A = this chain, B = another copy of it.
Amino acid sequence: MGKGRLEAFSDGVIAIIITIMVLELKVPHGADLEALKPLMPNFLSYVLSFIYVGIYWNNHHHLLHAAKHVSGTILWANLNLLFWLSLFPFTTGWMGENHFAPLPSAAYGFVLLMAAISYYLLQRCIITADGQSSVLKRALGTDWKGKLSPLFNITAIGASFWAHWLAQFIYVLVALVWLVPDKRIERIIIQTEE
């Protein structure tokens, strides 16, 4: 019941988040390269966040596809994930505006961490609701990506205050690891449907 509407609502919110982030790229007043240059950090953090939101949309897509039941708990676990994703435009803009300064970089990592944890909780709720026969449970296996990401995020938050470029490096690294779509889920679903 209602899985279609849950997907549609989540897609709507994620589509808006990914698009309003661009509003933090304020149109500069000058018309020369000098006017564009200070926007470079904003642009780079926009690209990074666009990729992260894209990854979440992509995986969310597979996650809900594998879910069989939608309970009240799942609705709220999903809203919790959307809440943390909705803070992306803020931390993206703050980090870009301040040229990757320590505290904004750490805040960026903190929101990434909370989103990762929320995604994990949503996964658990879906597995619990589907019980023993959960397709998702088998599909995830050891779920090393889901378990390692928070550790990387915590490391990056710490690194922000020591060498902020290390934090950025970790954010890009984690994004690259996730860029590979969740083939595991895809594979098991196909096996199950056969």
Contact = CB atoms under 8 A, between A and B. Distances in A.
Interface in A67-84: 72, 75-76, 79, 82-83
A65 B27 contact: no
A31 B79 contact: no
Interface residues of A, number: 59
| SS class, residues of chain A in contact with chain B | helix
A98 B28 CA distance: 9
B27 A19 contact: no
A3 B86 CA distance: 25
A17 interface: yes
Interface stretch (A99-107, A127-135, A148-156): A99-107
A103 B189 CA distance: 50
Query: How many copies altogether?
Result: 4
Contacts of A116: none
A19 B22 contact: no
Nearest to A186: B72
A86 B18 contact: yes
Given A2-B65, A54-B76, A79-B54, A23 B20 contact: yes
A18 B81 CA distance: 13
15 contacts: A2-B65, A5-B11, A5-B61, A20-B20, A20-B22, A22-B86, A27-B93, A30-B98, A32-B103, A50-B79, A54-B76, A58-B76, A58-B79, A72-B181, A72-B186
